[in-house]
Amino acid sequence: MRLLITRHGQTDWNLVGKIQGTTDIELNQTGIKQAEVTRDKLLNENIDIIISSPLKRARKTAEIIADGREIPVFCDNDIVERSFGKYEGFKLTHDEVDAIKRRGEIGVETDAEFLIRIKRFVKKIQEKYKDKTVLIVSHRGTILGMCCYIDGLPICKENTIKYKVENCSVLEYEI
């Protein structure tokens, strides 16, 4: 399977560095333009299916990329962003986020819970779309987790900083 992975377009919370998590934030005008540029960049790619997070910022990005093409777009809850509970909307450092995840607070998804979800999703699409090209539209944290899992690396700060996952950047895998 050929796997293309893109992050949703920019939101106002991205601009100011707030943790979005599962808070359902819309794309801003820059995010819409980024999605349009990504659509144009992928125009000659033979994409069989687009699977998106159901959150508005990812779903809208997926819809823009699919616009004008007969590519089905499906949403999958397994690729929503990690939940950060009461910390969503805050500006936190990477170290603060790691500490929060380790404490196991109610509403904050642990690394173990997150990895179960990522593994389940990757295995599901590998079985269902093994000879297809699939575009995934998701979120930075989810994409970092997917990349680590596919590359056989533990999900940790030292590994996730290896990947550049900017808004509407596209990563490619053969799995």
DSSP per-residue codes, 128-156: HSTTSEEEEEE-HHHHHHHHHHHTT---S
pLDDT of residue 102: 81
Cα(117)–Cα(77) distance, integer angstroms: 9
State the catalytic residues: 8, 81
From residue 37, how far is each of 31, 65, 74, 169, 170 by CA, in Å? 10, 9, 21, 10, 11
Q: Is residue 106 classed as helix, strand or coil in its secondary structure?
A: coil
- The residue extents of the domains of the chain are 2-174
pLDDT of residue 162: 85
From residue 21, how far is each of 12, 38, 87, 141, 162 by CA, in Å? 14, 23, 9, 9, 21
| Cβ–Cβ under 8 Å, residues 51 and 74 | yes
Whole-structure pTM value: 0.95
Series of mean pLDDT values for 10-residue runs along the chain (175 residues): 98 96 98 98 97 98 97 98 96 87 86 92 97 97 94 84 91 95
- 10 Å CB burial of residue 152 (0-12, 13-18, 19+) is exposed
Q: Which two tokens stand for residue 13?
A: 């919370």
pLDDT of residue 71: 97
Q: Domain 2-174 carries which CATH code?
A: 3.40.50.1240
